Amino acid sequence: TKWVYTFGGGKAEGAAVDRDLLGGKGANLAEMCNLGLPVPPGLTIITEACAGYYSHGRSIPDDLKAQVRAGITRIEEITGRVFGDNQRPLLLSVRSGARASMPGMMDTVLNLGLNDHSVQALGHDAGDARFAWDSYRRFIQMYGDVVMGLDHEIFEEILEDEKGRLGHGQDTELSAVEWQHVISLYKRAIEEELGESFPQDPEVQLWGAIGAVFASWMNARAITYRHLHNIPAEWGTAVNVQAMVFGNLGNSSATGVAFTRNPSTGENELYGEFLVNAQGEDVVAGIRTPQNITEASRLASGSDKPSLEKLMPEAFEQFCTICETLERHYKDMQDLEFTIERGTLWMLQTRSGKRTAKAALKIAVDMAEAGLITRHQAVTRIDPASLDQLLHPTIDPRARRDIIGSGLPASPGAATGEIVFTSEEAVLAEKEGRKVILVRVETSPEDIHGMHAAEGILTSRGGMTSHAAVVARGMGIPCVSGAGNIRVDLRNELLIAAGMTLKKGDVITIDGSSGQVLKGEIPMLQPELSGDFGRIMEWADKSRRMTVRTNAETPADARAARSFGAEGIGLCRTEHMFFEGERINVMREMILAADEAGRRIALDKLLPMQRSDFAELFSIMHGLPVTIRLLDPPLHEFLPKTDEEIADVAGVLGMNPADLRQRVDALHEFNPMLGHRGCRLAISYPEICEMQARAIFEAAVEAARETGAPVVPEIMVPLVGLKSELDYVKACIDAVAKEVIGEAGIEIEYLVGTMIELPRAALRAHVIAESADFFSFGTNDLTQTTFGISRDDAAQFLNTYIQKGIVEQDPFVSLDFDGVGELIQIAAERGRRTKNGLKLGICGEHGGDPASIRFCEQTGLDYVSCSPFRVPIARLAAAQAAI
């Protein structure tokens, strides 16, 4: 097997297209090399070697060793340095690089190859002993942590103690001799803690580091990250071994991270940060607060530290040209890492940059309008799920802002919550349904659980490219980072700001768009849906085949959905209309009535309420289709449960509590989800169906008269398994229609269809279709009944299933294509065999899930229906599925 691909000296064995083999970092290093950009020479061990490492019981295959040796010889030839040499030692970086970017999740070792001898040579060769000792201590620190497994805090404590003792504020202030002393303390700590000494043999170091990178593919945080981003464990990581270039070689050296466009706003401006006399890890770790790359962003940020543009104008110019080249080449915004060694620029990484949803829209629209990409490409560039971020509220500008601190606007959107100081507490709070803001000094990749569980993240240290900022932007969670005027006292769980001391549980608001930290809860505003968002949606709408409807009952939801572009209502769950206010008591009166006559008295009271509900929905949807579903849930859902509730309700209804208790007990079901619900109710109590049908038709008559807009109500029968069930209910609806329409003397068209949410209905679709004008797949119940997993109890064990890899995803969130999906395909095919062009839609939760929407497109459904806030997501996902 060819395990190793080399790059450097103006050519590379691989290219960007070899991403699966070389990982993202390796493929792009090769590509940059082929483009003639300055890339330090190196080699990439392919991702398949990672699988080999695990299948060999975590050991390195023999032929791999020989190939790496040959690759290093090539690096030696290009650099004129020798690995392990005591004259001109070659130092290496060893970095992970998977197919999909997993920022900060896996391990890296820098400055590899140094030992007690070569450190002298390095200092001598560079004419800078301080630099050599600084590099050596960095190496011991990283290697000790990543490869030998010693807690990095041990090194940090030693360094902090020494800095305190010597009276230094910054790492850069330590002299060669002082670093030498720190190193002896580091080495002693390793011996004391681990009972072994720091390895001096560069070969041992190299294979130790390569093994550690492979092993880091299976560390806890990488596993979590893969779960969150659906990255398969089989992919493995590549390993990049590359000649070191040094950003810590004095004040003409620097290292930085940049984006070719602003990753928060999408503005077409170079955006980034750097540190003088530092190595890359210093920037990402947020140890020192970095400087701006461009003068414009320095001015905007009000920083008094010089920009790269001013400090190193030549390297800056060259860097700007490279940014343009890379953007034009990849046709996308790039995220870059670079190092300047004594004035010479080196590129260490390029990849497509993570960005906020807002920035993604702006970049896609700008690039399409500049002709760099097509409109179709622009539409496919946006992750539909990320639109969620734009639909989040922002702080009302008229609100009073009680500002207690400020930091960098690291991830946009505003969030309010109780203060928590640890990720564990954030996770716990999420389980309890409490909203929290995770407050940390800085975050590390171990915090990823807590970050995901929090509404927002606040850190007192770190820049825009710190871990907290990058991860929060990726997750769409508001984040304020580097709020230096806030003191976080983790030990006592206090946040001290603006002379105030807040404790755990106190409520704060963060504004990830301005960087402000505010006391208490602040009024929020709904988002703006025009501009770039509007453009992308317009382009998406032109490319999609399926229509997008919404699931809505209330006028507010229906209006919101219209503003998000819903093209009708795909599911109006009428039961939701009876839970509110006074209505629930009339509903209870109906349910508790002793006989049909009693029920009819209550239903007469419900009729005008239902009629006015429907009339309002018809008027809001203004001629667009409205699907109204007959009453579906088990009736006892409306009834009181505890003794207290029973006493209350008995009082309101003028009943004896004991009688009420008896009636409630009589309605009890062991398995209500499979009990007396759905069309079974309409069959037991046709008067309920009559009332609902009457309300629908009378409202339709009213709407036709008043607005002149024709309404075609689509009446939907739930939980049908047998054609005879549908026939019975349809006969009842048709009879009412005849009566109401006859009385009104105007033409009202209507459809009667059924939900397909039981496996039997799917299998018998060709028969059921004889009586149905349309099918709507109720994939919530269809998933429940296909799997035999209760949708209300699944959460208890589905998480375990996911963790143990029994299922990849929650089938209630993303459609199970293999099982539930096949039933849908069968039903669609059999239904249309009976009725050519039978209208098909989906109204389960899956109607708003991009992967499930793709399946609906492939299955030939006519529409998807989802909750109002998901309508834009569904419009975009439907377009992407059709492109």
Q: Which residue is associated with the tokens 């029920």? A: 599
Q: Which is nearer to ligand PEP, 630 or 733 (CB)?
A: 630
Q: Which is nearer to ligand PEP, 408 or 866 (CB)?
A: 866
CB of 793 to Mg ion, least distance (A): 16
Number of neighbours of residue 381 by Cβ within 10 angstroms: 21
Query: What does the alpha-carbon distance between residue 623 and residue 446 come to, in Å, rounded to a whole number?
Result: 53
Q: Which is nearer to ligand PEP, 8 or 811 (CB)?
A: 811
320 is catalytic: no
Q: Near ligand PEP by CB under 6 A, which window of 303-311, 655-663, 779-787, 815-823?
A: 779-787
DSSP letter for each residue of 499-568: TEEEETT-EEEEETTTTEEEES---EEPPP--HHHHHHHHHHHHH--SEEEEE--SHHHHHHHHHTT--S
Q: Near ligand PEP by CB under 6 A, which window of 68-76, 279-287, 308-316, 773-781?
A: 773-781
**Going by DSSP bridges, is the β-strand pair 254-259/271-276 parallel, antiparallel, or unpaired?**
antiparallel
The H or E element containing residue 584 is helix 583-592
**Going by DSSP bridges, is the β-strand pair 516-519/524-525 parallel, antiparallel, or unpaired?**
unpaired
Cβ atoms of 202 and 210 within 8 Å: the answer is: no
Q: Which residue is associated with the tokens 């070659």? A: 90
Q: Residue 779, interface with ligand PEP (CB under 6 A)? A: yes
84 binds, among Mg ion, ligand PEP, none (CB under 5 to 8 A by kind): none
Q: Near Mg ion by CB under 5 A, which window of 73-81, 515-523, 780-788, 803-811?
A: 780-788
Ligand-binding annotation for 779, yes or no, is yes
CB of 846 to ligand PEP, least distance (A): 8
Taking CB under 6 A as the criterion, which residues in 613-672 touch ligand PEP?
632
Cβ atoms of 717 and 630 within 8 Å: the answer is: yes
Q: Near ligand PEP by CB under 6 A, which window of 317-325, 332-340, 662-670, 776-784?
A: 776-784
Cβ atoms of 754 and 772 within 8 Å: the answer is: yes
The CA-atom distances, in angstroms, between 254 and each of 172, 311, 340, 360, 715 are: 12, 10, 5, 29, 68
Q: Residue 570, interface with ligand PEP (CB under 6 A)? A: no
844 binds, among Mg ion, ligand PEP, none (CB under 5 to 8 A by kind): ligand PEP
Q: Which is nearer to Mg ion, 515 or 778 (CB)?
A: 778
512 binds, among Mg ion, ligand PEP, none (CB under 5 to 8 A by kind): none
Q: Which of 327, 366, 725, 781 binds ligand PEP (CB under 6 A)?
A: 781
Phi, psi torsion values for 585, nearest 5 degrees: -70, -35
Query: What does the alpha-carbon distance between residue 777 and residue 861 come to, in Å, rounded to a whole number?
Result: 10
Q: Which of 236, 515, 821, 844 binds ligand PEP (CB under 6 A)?
A: 844
Query: What does the alpha-carbon distance between residue 416 and residue 434 come to, in Å, rounded to a whole number?
Result: 11
Ligand-binding annotation for 34, yes or no, is no
Q: Which of 554, 780, 809, 834 binds ligand PEP (CB under 6 A)?
A: 780
First to last CA, the chain: 38
* Cα three-residue angle 583-586-590, rounded to 5 degrees: 135
323 is catalytic: no
Q: Near ligand PEP by CB under 6 A, which window of 361-369, 778-786, 794-802, 824-832?
A: 778-786
Determine which one of 572, 689, 843, 866 is catalytic.
843
Q: Which is nearer to ligand PEP, 413 or 868 (CB)?
A: 868
Number of neighbours of residue 596 by Cβ within 10 angstroms: 12
Binding mask 794-833 for ligand PEP (x = CB under 6 A): ----------------------------------------
Determine which one of 392, 452, 467, 636 is catalytic.
467
Cβ atoms of 356 and 411 within 8 Å: the answer is: yes
Ligand-binding annotation for 778, yes or no, is yes
Binding mask 525-564 for ligand PEP (x = CB under 6 A): ----------------------------------------
Q: Which amino acid is at 769?
A: A
Query: What does the alpha-carbon distance between residue 177 and residue 716 come to, in Å, rounded to a whole number?
Result: 82
HEC assignment per residue over 219-257? CHHHHHHHHHCCCCHHHCEEEEEEECCCCCCCCCCEEEE
CB of 728 to Mg ion, least distance (A): 19
Q: Which is nearer to ligand PEP, 702 or 781 (CB)?
A: 781
Q: Residue 781, interface with Mg ion (CB under 5 A)? A: yes
Q: Residue 573, interface with ligand PEP (CB under 6 A)? A: yes
CB of 680 to Mg ion, least distance (A): 13
Q: In what order do the strands lie in the sheet with 42-45?
A: 11-12, 4-8, 42-45, 237-243, 92-98, 108-112
Ligand-binding annotation for 130, yes or no, is no
Q: Which of 757, 816, 849, 857 binds ligand PEP (CB under 6 A)?
A: 757
Phi, psi torsion values for 258, nearest 5 degrees: -145, 160
Binding mask 738-757 for Mg ion (x = CB under 5 A): -------------------x
Which stretches of 84-175 are DSSP H helices? Answer: 118-126, 129-146, 152-166
Cβ atoms of 853 and 873 within 8 Å: the answer is: no
Binding mask 290-329 for ligand PEP (x = CB under 6 A): ----------------------------------------
Cβ atoms of 545 and 859 within 8 Å: the answer is: no
Q: Which is nearer to Mg ion, 250 or 778 (CB)?
A: 778
Q: Near ligand PEP by CB under 6 A, which window of 401-409, 508-516, 522-530, 772-780?
A: 772-780
CB of 863 to ligand PEP, least distance (A): 13
CB of 592 to ligand PEP, least distance (A): 23
Ligand-binding annotation for 401, yes or no, is no
**Going by DSSP bridges, is the β-strand pair 291-292/334-341 parallel, antiparallel, or unpaired?**
unpaired
Q: Which amino acid is at 639?
A: L
Torsion sign, CA atoms 793, 799, 802, 805: negative
Q: Near ligand PEP by CB under 6 A, which window of 359-367, 580-588, 613-621, 777-785?
A: 777-785
Q: Which of 275, 414, 772, 843 binds ligand PEP (CB under 6 A)?
A: 843
Q: Residue 778, interface with Mg ion (CB under 5 A)? A: yes
Q: Residue 778, interface with ligand PEP (CB under 6 A)? A: yes
Cβ atoms of 137 and 190 within 8 Å: the answer is: no
Q: Residue 571, interface with ligand PEP (CB under 6 A)? A: yes
Positions at the binding site? 573, 629, 757, 778-781
Residues identified as active-site: 467, 843
Positions at the binding site for Mg(2+)? 757, 781
Residue numbers at the binding site for Mg ion (CB under 5 A):
757, 778, 781
Residue numbers at the binding site for ligand PEP (CB under 6 A):
571, 573, 632, 757, 778-781, 843-844
